[in-house]
Structure 1
Amino acid sequence: MYKVLVVDDEKNIRERLVKSFPWNEAGFQVIGSAGDGQEALELIKEYLPHVVLTDIRMPEMNGLELAKAIQETYPHIKVLILSAYDDFKYAQEAIRYGIKGYLLKPVMKDEIVDAMSGLAIELKIDEEMAYSKKIGIPGILEESMLIDLVKGENVHQYDEPWLRDYMRVIVCSFGKWFEADLGLSIRSFIAEKTTEYWKESHTSVLFYGNQLILFAHDTRPISKYDLKGKIEDYYDLLKASIMSGFGKECSLSISVGNMIKGPEQICTSFNQAIYAFSYKYFDVHHSVLFYQDLLVTGSDETFTEQANEHLNIIMDRLMQSVLSRHKDEVASNLRDFFDALEQGKRLKIEEIRIAFSEIILTLPLRAKEKGLPIPSLDKKQALEHIYDVQSLGDLKKWLKQTIEKISDAPIEERDENRYVQLAKQHVHNNYSEKITLDQMAGQLFIHPAYFSSIFKKETGHNFIDYINEVRVRKAVEMLRNKDCKIKDISVMVGFHNHSYFNKVFKKVIGVKPLVFRSNHTCSQSGDLL
């Protein structure tokens, strides 16, 4: 088992990372957690972890300062960065410190598992490589050199002629299926196909972790357009070859660092390619991601504010068209909404998810306010889907299908009392627990005042009165059992104040619980005679 240290100043995020993710699946155990870089350094000194997973923005010592300190004192430790999209300028700086990857908040389980599984393989390779170099196994020197170059270690000892060329590092990233399903056989297959495809340009190839790294070099400067077509053809060839040879739909993303010159800069281009890969959320259906294309983004607060305002206007139009059932307007407004999201490289993923959630949650509320029926939605399932989907493209496809389902649904299938039905069901299933109007409205994702109004309108009762009546009816059933104490029954049905239970019981039944039990017992005795 390899050791990992988790660093984040937000306690809830830190604890969730430590306790909720399956570290063992990736071959790791958490040896501790820290709230800032300074505390992390003390734990690193004591436990010497193999990997440090750290947030960027923290007090005392931030993630960048921590990464720099680790690189200077513990260069063998691998660092993973937790980052938000508005941290771009910080992430650019982090590239100088040999960061092994970027996990974008909110981070998903699969992303953690994939990243850590890849690092576990790298750690194993490093161990094997160190042993091979120590005992002098022939043929190991070139691979050892390539690993040193991407890590930025011992670079001055290498003097291969091609290292003096202009260069771009290309990273091919594979999902977890790559390691778990096919292992070494597919690695050899991919390496063979890759070497054959790039042989004319003498491109060196390295498998490192779950990534295939290519070192594209030339005596002339290498532009994006020199490489893009060749890489896209390689992408198509590799996917087709894997499907033909293994019957597998290949999960593959290719990212490219900026052009550099000199062996000491190779690790920078490599880290740029790793960072570009993290933008797959926006460009998942694009075959190639270039780091230089991300440089137009940044943390322009004025732009972000304007983009959010524009999004709100379009979302409002979209929801109005859905409620009015004008299909042409719905299609047009949906396209406008998606077009606005294409500017999302200036927005956080969280902001995009909130926009989708707002549409799903607000539509039923507006429909109720206008007296317009729409099909009921499983809001909990919808929200889980919005936050689980790993790409903007798939999320857009899902929303389009959901909107079309709402727009096309026949009137007779629509349910005007769904909120009330769900609330009643919840009360009957959970009457023994604490239930408040605010909590119930929160679970239904509607405003408490609106929920109170529709519940009263549909049932003729206030929500709290309805809860009390359900509890009293359950108490009546229990009071027929002489073995149960009245005080215990009041707690069992959700009343933790005995005098209040007596008061409510009398209001609903007409007599206090003790009198009810006495009368019921007498009645039973008479029946038995």
Structure 2
Amino acid sequence: MRSVILADDEPIIIKGLKKLIPWQELGIEIVGEAMTGRSLMEQIDEKQPDLVVTDISMPDGTGIDVIKEVQRRQLRTKIVFISAYQEFSYAKDALAFGAVDYLVKPIEKSLLLDAVHKALTQLQEAHEDESSKGKLAVYEQKDKKTQLEELFDRLTQGEIRREEALRKLTALETPLTAPYFSVLYLELEHLQQQDGRWGEHERRLLVFAVSNLADELIQPFGVGLVLRKAENLCVIVNHEGAGDDLLRLAREMRDKILFYLKIHVTICIGKTVSDLQELRQSYKSAVDAAGASYFLEAGSVLSWSQNEPAAGSEEALAEARQAVIQAVVAKDKELLQERCGRLFAQMAQSSRGIKETAVLNGYSLLTELLEELTAIGVPLQVTLEQRNDWLQRMHQFYRFTDLADFISARIMDILEGIGASGGSREAQQLRMIKEYIEEHYSENITLESIAAQVFMNPYYFSSFFKKHTQENFKQYVTNVRMKNAVRLLLQTDLLVYEIAEQVGYHNPRQFSDMFKKCYGKLPQEYKSQLKGGSAP
């Protein structure tokens, strides 16, 4: 029977994990529980479990610390991480350090079952291998390539000193005579099947094929080695040439992998260094450059020196976001599409090559839009569960263009929702507005004050009013005032300045000018003409 330890700093989560899947039926015994990183590591030492299901963020030692220690001690324990949405950025590190899977809370039963089955498969394969050769024998008889891979993996992580690395290279009869070292980081495009995932067998075959092809292409260029980093690859090259040669090698790799294997790879060229101890810098600069690939097309080749995106203005991003919201509120689809294009360009620039920043900006836009609609009296029924689903899906996209398409689709859904909630409600609002103007035209009526009466923002109110009356708000108010001015002229003996005050003008001259603009004559001339029997 296999064994598992469950770990989370919230007891209720551990309790839920116990009940979520039938551990006993799967042949797994729960042998321990832990609420801190230190406690988990102590139990791993004591009980040597086959599997650990743990939160990635715990007090007194994170899940990443635990998996590093497990790897350092070369334990057979498989680890499945769980965590909250806001810690989603840890996933890349978790998988890079060999985690079986990374699941986001709340945990879905089917996903946890898949992860556990995956761990059991890996354990079985390891067991079969150990049974045939023996664990110690396998370690002692590792072939030269495997030992080199382990050595260079430690160099890229900064976990071995130069002197020790050189001694190992001498023992392995692998002199590195060229003066420079560079890392190429290959991101394999995640082509999706209908269920949205590669099968484990297909992933292995794909990575193996890409690794072999990359290894062949390095040989004419210099001494090289291909390492697997989770589902991506790290190519280490000891070479004579300059950066142009590396760029040519990267482009050849990209093109031939696409031609022979029909899969896009994005290749990031790290900083060229002249010492083994600095190999970690080259690797880190290549991985950092990979962050910018999110904003590029699939199959790009970029260098660490290009990983300096222009800083986007936060003010410009806020203005672009507000412009999109205003277009939605105004129900102007054509204007909305134009402004969305500008917004996404600004989002890409303001994200500074960081995927998580782009996701956060996109989610903030949708949240702010819904809040704005609620504030103006057009609430849409979007639940917290739906918003969480949006956020999860937004994290899963491999390209910024996919994120932008998803956000655009949600904005259009919201626009349609506004249209569906209109009708009689809008007619009622318009009736209230007109009644208010008829009752208060003698006061200082402004677009802002009327908009507040019906809980709309001024921009939306202006568009709303013109849509339903075919008049600008200001002109409509003026027409109401002039209509009442004519009534007072004909039915009373009030003087012109008195009429001006009663229809909302504190400046008689301004009133007279406006009256003449509407009727072609000054108020007194208009009155005299009507009393004389002439048509106005």
The match for 2:374 among 365, 370, 375 is 365
Deviation at 1:193, TM superposition (A): 3.2
2:433 matched to which residue of 1? none
- The one-letter code sitting in structure 1 at the alignment partner of 2:183 is V
SS at match of 1:325: coil
- The one-letter code sitting in structure 2 at the alignment partner of 1:351 is L
Question: Could you list the runs of 5+ residues in structure 2 that have no partner in the other structure?
Answer: 191-196, 426-454, 456-536
SS at match of 1:200: coil
Instruction: Give the Cα–Cα distance (whole angstroms) in 2 for the partners of residues 114 and 418 of structure 1.
Output: 52
2:156 aligned with 1:145, yes or no? Answer: no
2:237 matched to which residue of 1? 216
Deviation at 1:143, TM superposition (A): 3.2
Q: Deviations over 1:136-168 (max 9, x none)?
A: 999932233223431457844223123775323
Question: Could you list the runs of 5+ residues in structure 1 that have no partner in the other structure?
Answer: 244-249, 298-302, 420-449, 451-529
The match for 1:388 among 386, 390, 393 is 393
Instruction: Give the Cα–Cα distance (whole angstroms) in 2 for the partners of residues 388 and 316 of structure 1.
Output: 24
Question: Is the 1:255–1:288 Cα contact (8 Å) retained in structure 2?
Answer: yes
Question: Is the 2:78–2:119 Cα contact (8 Å) retained in structure 1?
Answer: no
Q: Deviations over 1:272-302 (max 9, x none)?
A: 76676677765674635767766889xxxxx
Q: Deviations over 1:187-239 (max 9, x none)?
A: 6643453344333114333567644442222135x65x653454244224313
Instruction: Give the Cα–Cα distance (whole angstroms) in 1 for the partners of residues 15 and 264 of structure 2.
Output: 31
Deviation at 1:397, TM superposition (A): 0.9
Bigger mean CA deviation after superposition, 40-49 or 201-210: 201-210
1:167 matched to which residue of 2? 181
2:220 aligned with 1:200, yes or no? Answer: yes
- The one-letter code sitting in structure 1 at the alignment partner of 2:361 is I
Bigger mean CA deviation after superposition, 337-346 or 316-325: 337-346
Equivalence map 1:306-455=2 (5 Å): 307=314, 311-327=317-333, 329-342=335-348, 343-344=350-351, 345=354, 348=357, 351-352=360-361, 354-359=363-368, 361-362=370-371, 364-365=373-374, 368-369=377-378, 384-389=389-394, 390-391=396-397, 392-404=400-412, 414-416=420-422
CA separation of 1:200 and 1:388: change in aligned 2, threshold 3 A: same
Equivalent residues, number: 394
CA separation of 1:262 and 1:137: change in aligned 2, threshold 3 A: same
- The one-letter code sitting in structure 1 at the alignment partner of 2:48 is L
Q: Deviations over 1:336-367 (max 9, x none)?
A: 43234222329646633531431563365356
Instruction: Give the Cα–Cα distance (whole angstroms) in 1 for the partners of residues 33 and 383 of structure 2.
Output: 37
Instruction: Give the Cα–Cα distance (whole angstroms) in 2 for the partners of residues 79 and 164 of structure 1.
Output: 39
- The one-letter code sitting in structure 1 at the alignment partner of 2:38 is Q
1:517 matched to which residue of 2? none
CA separation of 1:58 and 1:377: change in aligned 2, threshold 3 A: closer
Instruction: Give the Cα–Cα distance (whole angstroms) in 2 for the partners of residues 285 and 231 of structure 1.
Output: 14
- The one-letter code sitting in structure 1 at the alignment partner of 2:137 is K
Question: Is the 1:100–1:274 Cα contact (8 Å) retained in structure 2?
Answer: no
Question: Is the 2:7–2:52 Cα contact (8 Å) retained in structure 1?
Answer: yes
- The one-letter code sitting in structure 2 at the alignment partner of 1:199 is Q
- The one-letter code sitting in structure 2 at the alignment partner of 1:400 is S
SS at match of 2:254: helix
1:486 matched to which residue of 2? none
Q: CA RMSD in A?
A: 6.1
Q: Deviations over 1:112-144 (max 9, x none)?
A: 979996997699689959869937999932233
- The one-letter code sitting in structure 2 at the alignment partner of 1:358 is T
Equivalence map 1:235-246=2 (5 Å): 235-243=254-262
Deviation at 1:45, TM superposition (A): 1.2
Instruction: Give the Cα–Cα distance (whole angstroms) in 1 for the partners of residues 340 and 180 of structure 2.
Output: 45
Equivalence map 1:446-485=2 (5 Å): none
Deviation at 1:177, TM superposition (A): 2.0
Q: TM-score under structure 1 normalisation? A: 0.52
CA separation of 1:79 and 1:383: change in aligned 2, threshold 3 A: closer
- The one-letter code sitting in structure 1 at the alignment partner of 2:44 is I
Question: Is the 1:164–1:261 Cα contact (8 Å) retained in structure 2?
Answer: no
Instruction: Give the Cα–Cα distance (whole angstroms) in 2 for the partners of residues 234 and 196 of structure 1.
Output: 10
Instruction: Give the Cα–Cα distance (whole angstroms) in 2 for the partners of residues 410 and 399 of structure 1.
Output: 15
Question: Is the 1:85–1:349 Cα contact (8 Å) retained in structure 2?
Answer: no
- The one-letter code sitting in structure 1 at the alignment partner of 2:186 is C
- The one-letter code sitting in structure 1 at the alignment partner of 2:363 is I
Instruction: Give the Cα–Cα distance (whole angstroms) in 2 for the partners of residues 146 and 227 of structure 1.
Output: 21
CA separation of 1:271 and 1:41: change in aligned 2, threshold 3 A: farther
Instruction: Give the Cα–Cα distance (whole angstroms) in 2 for the partners of residues 233 and 363 of structure 1.
Output: 50
Instruction: Give the Cα–Cα distance (whole angstroms) in 2 for the partners of residues 10 and 395 of structure 1.
Output: 33
Higher helix share: 1
Question: Is the 2:169–2:175 Cα contact (8 Å) retained in structure 1?
Answer: no
Instruction: Give the Cα–Cα distance (whole angstroms) in 1 for the partners of residues 274 and 370 of structure 2.
Output: 52
SS at match of 1:201: coil
CA separation of 1:132 and 1:101: change in aligned 2, threshold 3 A: closer
Question: Is the 1:6–1:53 Cα contact (8 Å) retained in structure 2?
Answer: yes
1:518 matched to which residue of 2? none
SS at match of 2:59: coil
Q: Which one scores higher on RCO, CA 8 angstroms, separation ≥ 6?
A: 1
Instruction: Give the Cα–Cα distance (whole angstroms) in 2 for the partners of residues 317 and 218 of structure 1.
Output: 52
SS at match of 2:238: strand
Equivalence map 1:171-320=2 (5 Å): 171-174=185-188, 175=190, 177=198, 179-181=200-202, 184=205, 186=206, 189-202=209-222, 203-206=224-227, 210-219=231-240, 223=243, 227-228=246-247, 230-243=249-262, 250=263, 252=265, 254=267, 258-263=271-276, 285=298, 287-288=300-301, 307=314, 311-320=317-326
1:492 matched to which residue of 2? none
Instruction: Give the Cα–Cα distance (whole angstroms) in 2 for the partners of residues 270 and 279 of structure 1.
Output: 15
Instruction: Give the Cα–Cα distance (whole angstroms) in 1 for the partners of residues 121 and 287 of structure 2.
Output: 17
Deviation at 1:418, TM superposition (A): 12
Instruction: Give the Cα–Cα distance (whole angstroms) in 2 for the partners of residues 279 and 410 of structure 1.
Output: 35
1:43 matched to which residue of 2? 43
Question: Is the 1:206–1:213 Cα contact (8 Å) retained in structure 2?
Answer: yes
SS at match of 1:169: strand
Instruction: Give the Cα–Cα distance (whole angstroms) in 1 for the partners of residues 101 and 331 of structure 2.
Output: 41
1:158 matched to which residue of 2? 169
Deviation at 1:394, TM superposition (A): 1.3
Question: Is the 2:185–2:233 Cα contact (8 Å) retained in structure 1?
Answer: yes
Question: Is the 2:183–2:235 Cα contact (8 Å) retained in structure 1?
Answer: yes
Higher-Rg member (1/2) = 2
Identity of aligned residues (%): 19
Instruction: Give the Cα–Cα distance (whole angstroms) in 1 for the partners of residues 2 and 301 of structure 2.
Output: 32
